[in-house]
């Protein structure tokens, strides 16, 4: 299988940075898709078609990674040879874990009491927390303090998961 | 070949400009099917001598083996419902245990698993075979139009179709001898037909209420790019359900409680459909069944069907939420499917979205029209700006984990093609086998999801527990079809398996079906394989030569250049032999040798593409 040696940022002509200009990302993504998409190779032989398939998959994956702040963070760490998925309790402070536990309990209570407004308020709180942690990640990353950045990433994993659960709870209560 | 052709897609189909490619768009529907052709950006559906453009998706099997499709088959169904197969699309990619409703014909479980078999006077038929008959009759229409064989077809499927259903559709096409250019989502086809992408960025809803299925898709369109953001719907909700509410109303009003015969039910269905159509224009209509007669007003009818429309609105809210799009962002709603002719449906949809509702193109034909436009482009008949279709996977793919739970690997609404890899390890010393169960669906329990494939990875090198690392790659292509590859990483031994989902037919099954019907001679096959290998070798030589002429001097050392040139010479000589295998092997090794060159061209290519050149420039 042929793989480009370009990293995800280079692939989309973007500087390696936490800040990603979405308009540029979208535009470059479309340009690349126009070149590699299997629909461009309908009449080609199987091998060429397989390659177009693999490249498009790669471009899609790269796009999705840069589009999501959470995945982008992990990818930035990976570019510095840090495995963000390798879990280490030391990266999460007890204070953070306790706070998470409280939020989860709050979520359970809100679900049990069908409290849609309460859910909305909790969502806002978690979103604020998320934004603050993303900012912390960026500043630690800029200062090349990768240990702290990884710790922020692990916190973000918790926060994104919690947001996801709040969404699901909301869907249930609002009967989607 | 390889990436060598990436920089000049135009050259990979050199005849595209010289000869018009014959491609059709096919809407393979639950109730009706259509075929359309396009030229220069205009499409029209193909009709028969009596000006019927819709082909009822009905197939009749006679005891002498004679197969009838369409209107004639539907007519035979009046007296011979047991041998008349309708709504076969609902059986595609489904198991016997999935069919919880009555059918006018008899089905039985397939002992080998997979789709049920349909009992007919001409023997047992699989849903794939029945669909292939419908496809063949549509292709015939296309061939009559062009006066020649077709080069290919775009076939539409509901965006909601899972992997098993898509695979079954593709198998049916293969059986019918059609080259599938692309399985296209029905909503995407509708959006193409309206050309909504020509405006600035727009977020649109495709609301498709057909005879048997409801589909809603949220798409973002911008100058030639069609991106499906989210899809949803109900695979068992459609115009038939609206008719059923009318049937129930008749039965209740007429006080009929007895069981009815099939011919009575057929008559009722016809009466209900007539009433529904009449109420599209009139405020009320007289309904008569046997000795009873009554009046159904539009208001009553609206009340009857509102609960079904509610379900569709709920699905609309769901896709908005999935795509994280606000209701106010929707600029257009495209109506697809005959049931959107019902005024109440239009009213409720327009009320909910508060956006422009499009009904200008016949809602029965709009999907086939879009498919034809895309088929024309994919076949290589360029008439302007190319459009790019970015589709999503409608249901999550995952695997079974401990405790009968489903772990999602590729979440729904992920843009396809997509590949995801996952690593597993052994849990026992010396373990040499590991089994995997691939599933599709949104629920947490394995038992609530559709089982796509079960397979075993064998020959894992014996190691202590946890030492073997098996990487499993799930690859979904642009048609939404999946393959699973597995290999063991730690030893470098790469054993790879490709898994076809259990609901799809094995290639050998299809081949058997094809040979059964044509009884091809073995020597024909050998001759064909030799011919194919020669063509392939020629293709490799040509594209490598043109790539060398363009970039060889810049990207290769003198040695590398000489090596590839020598490979070309060798292959040239071998082509003239009649040894099919030798040609194949020489082609393979030349292709292998050119991979490094291809990789370098890929890098240059991407850099050039990104250096600010427009797509058009890159293509020329």
Q: Closest partner residue to B536 among A34, A35, A45, by Cβ?
A: A45
In angstroms, the first-to-last Cα distance of chain A is 43
pLDDT digits (tens, 9 = 90+) for B476-506: 998 888 888 777 777 665 555 555 555 544 5
Q: Closest partner residue to B610 among A31, A37, A63, by Cβ?
A: A31
**Phi/psi of residue B611, each to 5°?**
-80, 15
Q: What is the distance in angstroms between the Cα of B82 and the nearest Cα belonging to chain A?
A: 40
- Say what the pLDDT of residue B493 is: 59
Report yes or no: B478 and B417 within 8 Å, Cβ to Cβ.
Answer: yes
Which residue in A has a C-alpha nearest to residue B180's C-alpha? Answer: A42
- Say what the pLDDT of residue B54 is: 93
Q: What is the distance in angstroms between the Cα of A157 and the nearest Cα belonging to chain B?
A: 17
Residue with tokens 């990875």, as numbered in its chain: B457
- Buried b / exposed e over B345-357, threshold 16 CB at 10 Å, is bbebbeebbebeb
Q: Which residues of A touch B182 (CB under 8 A)?
A: 39, 42
Q: What is the distance in angstroms between the Cα of A73 and the nearest Cα belonging to chain B?
A: 19
A49 pLDDT tier (thresholds 50, 70, 90):
confident
Which residue in A has a C-alpha nearest to residue B232's C-alpha? Answer: A176
Across chain B, what does the average pLDDT equal?
83
* Cβ contacts of B341-346, under 8 Å, gap ≥ 24: B341/B277, B341/B280, B342/B242, B342/B276, B342/B279, B342/B280, B342/B305, B343/B279, B343/B280, B343/B298, B344/B298, B344/B301, B344/B302, B344/B305, B344/B306, B344/B309, B345/B209, B345/B305, B345/B309, B345/B312
Verify whether the Cβ–Cβ distance A176 to B317 is below 8 Å.
yes
B255 pLDDT tier (thresholds 50, 70, 90):
confident
Q: Looking at the predicted structure, is the pLDDT value of residue B422 above 50?
A: yes
- Say what the pLDDT of residue B577 is: 78
More confident residue, B271 or B437: B271
Q: Closest partner residue to A51 among B2, B152, B321, by Cβ?
A: B2
Which of B47-61, B292-306, B387-401 is predicted with the least confidence, judged by mean pLDDT? B387-401
The sign of the torsion formed by the CA atoms of A69, A71, A72, A74 equals positive
Distance CA A29, CA A27 (A): 5
pLDDT digits (tens, 9 = 90+) for B500-525: 555 544 555 545 554 444 443 445 55
Angle at B219 between CA B217 and CA B222, to 5 degrees: 165
Distance CA B44, CA B47 (A): 9
Strand partners, B123: B120
Listed in sequence order, the residues at least 6 apart from B85 whose beta carbon sits closer than 8 Å to its beta carbon are B58, B59, B60, B61, B105, B118, B120, B125, B130
Query: Average pLDDT for residues B563-568, to the nearest whole number?
Result: 89
- Say what the pLDDT of residue A91 is: 59
B32-39 and B23-28 beta bridge pairing? antiparallel
Distance CA B266, CA B137 (A): 25
Q: What is the dihedral of CA B191, B194, B197, B198, to 10 degrees?
A: 170
- Say what the pLDDT of residue B502 is: 52
Q: Which residues of A touch B536 (CB under 8 A)?
A: 45
Q: Could you give the residue ranges of the DSSP H alpha helices within B205-288?
A: 239-254, 262-278
Distance CA B450, CA B161 (A): 12
Task: Give the pair of three-digit tokens for residue B494.
Answer: 């790469």
Angle of the A22-36 helix axis to the B595-610 helix axis, nearest 10? 140
Q: Which residues of A touch B598 (CB under 8 A)?
A: 2
Q: Could you give the residue ranges of the DSSP H alpha helices within B383-506?
A: none
Q: Looking at the predicted structure, is the pLDDT value of residue A174 above 80?
A: no
**Phi/psi of residue B465, each to 5°?**
-55, 135
pLDDT digits (tens, 9 = 90+) for B433-473: 878 888 888 888 888 888 887 777 777 778 887 788 888 88
Q: What is the distance in angstroms between the Cα of B419 and the nearest Cα belonging to chain A?
A: 6
Listed in sequence order, the residues at least 6 apart from A108 whose beta carbon sits closer than 8 Å to its beta carbon are none
Which residue in B has a C-alpha nearest to residue A170's C-alpha? Answer: B321
Which candidate, B608, B602, B541, B548, places its Cα nearest to that of B575? B541
- Buried b / exposed e over B440-467, threshold 16 CB at 10 Å, is bbeeeebeebbbbbebebeebeebeeee
Strand partners, A36: none
- Number of CB pairs, chain A paired with chain B, less than 8 A apart: 114
pLDDT digits (tens, 9 = 90+) for A111-130: 888 888 899 999 999 999 99
Distance CA B19, CA B22 (A): 9
In the three-class reduction of DSSP (H, G, I as helix; E, B as strand; rest coil), residue B531 is classed as helix
Active site (catalytic) residues of B: 27, 89, 186, 208
Verify whether the Cβ–Cβ distance B599 to A2 is below 8 Å.
yes
Verify whether the Cβ–Cβ distance B380 to A42 is below 8 Å.
yes
Q: What is the pTM of this model?
A: 0.76
B42-45 and B32-39 beta bridge pairing? antiparallel
Q: Closest partner residue to A54 among B414, B416, B419, by Cβ?
A: B419
B531 pLDDT tier (thresholds 50, 70, 90):
confident
Q: Looking at the predicted structure, is the pLDDT value of residue B120 above 80?
A: yes
Question: Cα Rg for chain B, rounded, in angstroms?
Answer: 27
More confident residue, A3 or B255: B255
- Say what the pLDDT of residue B607 is: 64
pLDDT digits (tens, 9 = 90+) for B160-208: 788 889 999 999 999 999 999 999 999 999 999 998 877 678 899 999 9
Query: Average pLDDT for residues B223-244, to the nearest whole number?
Result: 84
Listed in sequence order, the residues at least 6 apart from B546 whose beta carbon sits closer than 8 Å to its beta carbon are B4, B8, B11
Query: Average pLDDT for residues B100-113, to the nearest whole number?
Result: 83
- Say what the pLDDT of residue B47 is: 92
Task: Give the pair of three-digit tokens for residue B300.
Answer: 């009553």
Helix (H) or strand (E) segment spanning residue B106: none
Task: Give the pair of three-digit tokens for residue B74.
Answer: 């539907």
Q: Is the ipTM of this complex over 0.95?
A: no
**Share above pLDDT 90 across residues of chain B, in percent, rounded to a whole number:** 40
Q: Looking at the predicted structure, is the pLDDT value of residue A60 above 90?
A: yes
């Amino acid at each position: 299988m042929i793989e480009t040696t370009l990293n995800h940022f280079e692939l989309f002509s973007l500087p390696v940075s936490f800040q990603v200009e979405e308009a540029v990302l979208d535009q470059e993504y479309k340009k690349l898709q126009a070149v590699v998409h299997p629909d461009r190779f309908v009449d080609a032989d199987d091998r060429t078609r397989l390659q177009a398939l693999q490249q498009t998959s790669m471009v899609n994956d790269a796009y999705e990674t840069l589009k999501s702040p959470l995945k982008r963070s992990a990818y930035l760490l990976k570019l510095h040879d840090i495995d963000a998925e390798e879990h280490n309790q030391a990266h999460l402070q007890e204070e953070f874990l306790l706070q998470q536990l409280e939020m989860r309990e709050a979520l359970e209570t809100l679900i049990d009491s069908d409290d849609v407004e309460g859910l909305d308020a909790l969502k806002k709180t978690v979103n604020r927390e998320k934004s603050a942690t993303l900012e912390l990640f960026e500043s630690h990353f800029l200062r090349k303090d990768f240990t702290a950045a990884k710790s922020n990433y692990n916190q973000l994993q918790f926060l994104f998961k919690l947001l996801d659960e709040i969404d699901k709870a909301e869907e249930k209560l609002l009967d989607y | 070949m390889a990436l060598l052709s990436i920089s000049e897609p135009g050259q990979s189909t050199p005849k595209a400009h010289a000869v018009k490619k014959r491609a059709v768009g096919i809407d393979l529907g639950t109730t009706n099917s259509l075929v359309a052709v396009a030229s220069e950006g205009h499409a029209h559906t193909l009709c028969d001598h009596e000006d019927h453009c819709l082909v009822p998706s009905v197939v009749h099997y006679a005891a002498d083996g004679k197969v009838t499709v369409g209107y004639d088959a539907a007519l035979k169904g009046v007296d011979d419902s047991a041998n008349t197969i309708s709504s076969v699309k609902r059986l595609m990619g489904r198991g016997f245990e999935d069919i919880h409703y009555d059918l006018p014909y008899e089905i039985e479980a397939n002992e080998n698993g997979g789709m049920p078999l349909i009992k007919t006077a001409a023997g047992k038929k699989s849903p794939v075979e029945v669909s292939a008959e419908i496809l063949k009759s549509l292709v015939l229409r296309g061939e009559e139009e062009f006066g020649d064989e077709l080069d290919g077809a775009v076939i539409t499927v509901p965006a909601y179709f899972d992997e098993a259903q898509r695979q079954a559709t593709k198998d049916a096409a293969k059986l019918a001898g059609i080259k599938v250019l692309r399985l296209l989502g029905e909503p995407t086809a509708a959006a193409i037909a309206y050309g909504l992408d020509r405006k600035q960025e727009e977020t649109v809803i495709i609301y498709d209420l057909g005879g048997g299925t409801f589909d809603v898709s949220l798409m973002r369109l911008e100058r030639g790019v069609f991106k499906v953001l989210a899809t949803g719907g109900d695979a068992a909700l459609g115009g038939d359900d609206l008719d059923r509410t009318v049937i129930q109303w008749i039965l209740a009003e007429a006080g009929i409680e007895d069981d009815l015969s099939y011919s009575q039910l057929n008559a009722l269905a016809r009466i209900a459909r007539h009433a529904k159509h009449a109420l599209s224009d009139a405020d009320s209509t007289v309904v008569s069944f046997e000795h009873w007669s009554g009046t159904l007003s539009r208001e009553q009818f609206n009340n009857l069907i509102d609960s079904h429309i509610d379900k569709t609105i709920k699905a609309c809210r769901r896709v908005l939420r999935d795509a994280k799009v606000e209701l106010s962002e929707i600029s257009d709603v495209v109506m697809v499917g005959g049931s959107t002719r019902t005024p109440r449906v239009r009213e409720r949809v327009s009320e909910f979205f508060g956006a422009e509702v499009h009904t200008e193109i016949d809602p029965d034909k709009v999907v086939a029209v879009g498919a034809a436009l895309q088929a024309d482009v994919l076949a290589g008949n360029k008439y302007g700006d190319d459009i790019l279709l970015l589709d999503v996977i409608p249901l999550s793919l995952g695997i079974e984990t401990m405790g009968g739970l489903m772990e999602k690997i590729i979440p729904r609404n992920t843009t396809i093609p997509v590949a995801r890899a996952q690593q597993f390890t052994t849990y026992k010393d010396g373990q040499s086998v590991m089994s995997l169960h691939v599933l599709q669906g949104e629920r947490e329990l394995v038992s609530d999801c559709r089982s796509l494939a079960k397979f075993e990875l064998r020959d894992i090198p014996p190691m202590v527990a946890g030492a073997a690392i098996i990487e499993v790659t799930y690859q979904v292509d642009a048609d939404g079809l999946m393959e699973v590859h597995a290999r063991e990483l730690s030893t470098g031994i790469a054993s790879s398996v490709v898994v076809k989902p259990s609901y799809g037919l094995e290639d050998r099954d299809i081949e058997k079906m094809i040979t059964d019907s044509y009884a091809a001679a073995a020597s024909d096959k050998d001759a064909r394989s030799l011919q194919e290998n020669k063509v392939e070798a020629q293709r490799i030589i040509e594209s490598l030569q043109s790539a060398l002429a363009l970039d060889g001097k810049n990207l290769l050392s003198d040695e590398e250049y000489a090596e590839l040139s020598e490979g070309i010479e060798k292959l040239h000589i071998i082509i003239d032999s009649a040894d099919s295998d030798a040609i194949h092997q020489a082609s393979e090794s030349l292709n292998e040798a050119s991979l490094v060159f291809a990789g370098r061209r890929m890098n240059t290519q991407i850099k050039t593409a990104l250096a600010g050149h427009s797509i058009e420039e890159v293509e020329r």
